């Protein structure tokens, strides 16, 4: 897999949490060493929910800071704001013309949002076309995403194949890299951690408020002295992700032996969380204090991204008869 071009995007739609970190951010950042990575903040996509302008700007900055604090290396990875490469909109229009309406009508994410009462604006409907343009604009080979994005990647492949059938082998047909195996990270209540379920632990929480969240995690009512099943416990599920293998084993034995209350496991998890993110938390504070540095990183990323975007778009324009 060495040397592939990897691309992924994340919407700036709320505070990033441990589910995002272990499910997406950490695996994406691990790919930086051996691949040419393009990661971007999908702020055009976030507009489909019509956030307040100040909020959209703030969340975009927050995601940038979070990724940099977590270890995104801008000297290797091209990191940018989607809207700084407006070429994506032109490609989106062009490929929209080979996209059957039925393909978009079948998208679960669109149907789910309508079912939840969101008004169907055109942006929401054509969301997968813009996502396809994001991917195809950079001749991306691999697109690491969560399971929820699988259908959008199938749409992307379908669009690329249709385009190539019509105009010749112009677009690279990408391979999905679905994180099926990555456990769904549980939230405070044991169901999938998600900002929509109000059960998140933020990556960079600090102090009393976040400690209380850990202490409020839902567990079963096995009495303190009884043995407990670690594999059924969401506290243990998170501990496994954060602690070292030896510590995980030790904790597993303490569950099985009985005599340990859940409060103890929660405190141990909280301590590990504090320690695990300590350095990143400090780095984050430094970045927040230097917004111009973050801005420089994003601008430089956009310049690098735009060169590739321009070349693809020129190739596409020539192929379809626009140039």
What is the C-alpha to C-alpha distance for residues 197 and 138, in angstroms, rounded to an integer? 34
Parallel, antiparallel or unpaired: strands 36-41 and 175-178: unpaired
* Beta carbons of 147 and 178 less than 8 angstroms apart: yes
Task: Determine which residue in the list 5, 6, 20, 51 makes contact with ligand ADP, applying CB under 6 A.
Answer: 20
Asked if 194 touches ligand ADP (CB under 6 A), the answer is: yes
Sole binder of ligand ADP in the list 71, 123, 146, 190 (CB under 6 A): 146
Exactly one of 11, 77, 99, 312 binds ligand TRP (CB under 6 A); that residue is 11
Question: Among 20, 92, 149, 199, which residue sits at the site for ligand TRP (rule: CB under 6 A)?
Answer: 149
In this structure, are residues 210 and 195 in contact, taking their beta carbons and an 8 Å threshold?
no
Radius of gyration of the chain (CA): 22
Report CA torsion sign: 138, 143, 144, 149: positive
- Nearest-angstrom CA–CA distance, 315 and 38: 20
45 touching ligand TRP, by CB under 6 A:
yes
Distances (CA, A) of 294 to 66, 70, 97, 142: 11, 14, 36, 26
- Residues catalogued as catalytic: 113, 192, 195
Q: How far is the CB of 185 from ligand TRP (least distance, A)?
A: 15
Q: Choose which of 134, 137, 187, 204 interacts with ligand TRP (CB under 6 A).
A: 134
Q: Is 242 in the site for ligand TRP (CB under 6 A)?
A: no
Phi-psi region of 4 (alpha: psi -120 to 50; beta: other; left: phi over 0): beta
Q: Is 19 in the site for ligand ADP (CB under 6 A)?
A: yes
Q: Say whether residue 26 binds ligand ADP (CB under 6 A).
A: no
| Residues at the interface with ligand ADP (CB under 6 A) | 10-11, 13, 19-20, 23-24, 145-146, 148, 182, 184-185, 192-196
| Residues at the interface with ligand TRP (CB under 6 A) | 7-11, 42, 45, 131, 134-135, 143, 145, 149
């Amino acid at each position: 897999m060495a040397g592939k071009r990897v691309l992924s995007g994340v919407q700036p739609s709320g505070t990033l949490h441990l589910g995002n970190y272990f499910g997406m951010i950490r695996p994406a950042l691990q790919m930086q060493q051996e691949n040419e990575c393009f990661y971007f903040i999908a702020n055009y996509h976030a507009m489909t929910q019509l956030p307040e302008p100040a909020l959209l700007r703030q969340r975009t900055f927050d995601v940038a800071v979070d990724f940099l604090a977590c270890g995104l290396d801008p000297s290797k990875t091209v990191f940018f704001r989607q809207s700084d490469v407006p070429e994506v909109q032109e490609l989106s229009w062009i490929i929209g013309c080979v996209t059957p309406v039925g393909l978009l009508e079948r998208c679960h994410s669109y149907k789910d949002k309508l079912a939840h009462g969101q008004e169907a604006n055109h942006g929401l409907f054509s969301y997968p076309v813009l996502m396809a343009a994001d991917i195809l604009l950079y001749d991306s080979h691999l697109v690491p995403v969560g399971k929820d994005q699988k259908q959008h990647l199938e749409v992307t492949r379908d669009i690329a194949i249709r385009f190539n059938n019509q105009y010749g082998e112009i677009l690279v047909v990408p391979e999905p890299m679905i994180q099926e195996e990555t456990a769904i990270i549980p939230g405070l209540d044991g169901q999938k951690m998600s900002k929509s379920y109000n059960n998140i632990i933020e990556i960079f929480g600090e102090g009393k408020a976040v400690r209380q969240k850990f202490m409020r995690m839902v567990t079963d009512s096995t009495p303190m002295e009884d043995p407990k099943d670690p594999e059924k416990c969401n506290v243990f599920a998170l501990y496994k992700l954060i602690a070292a293998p030896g510590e995980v084993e030790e904790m597993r034995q303490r569950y099985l032996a009985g005599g340990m209350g859940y409060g103890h496991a929660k405190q141990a998890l909280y301590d590990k969380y504090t320690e695990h993110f300590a350095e990143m938390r400090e780095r984050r504070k430094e970045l927040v204090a230097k917004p111009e540095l973050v801005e420089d990183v994003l601008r430089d990323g956009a310049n690098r991204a735009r060169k590739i975007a321009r070349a693809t778009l020129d190739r596409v324009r020539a192929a379809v008869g626009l140039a």
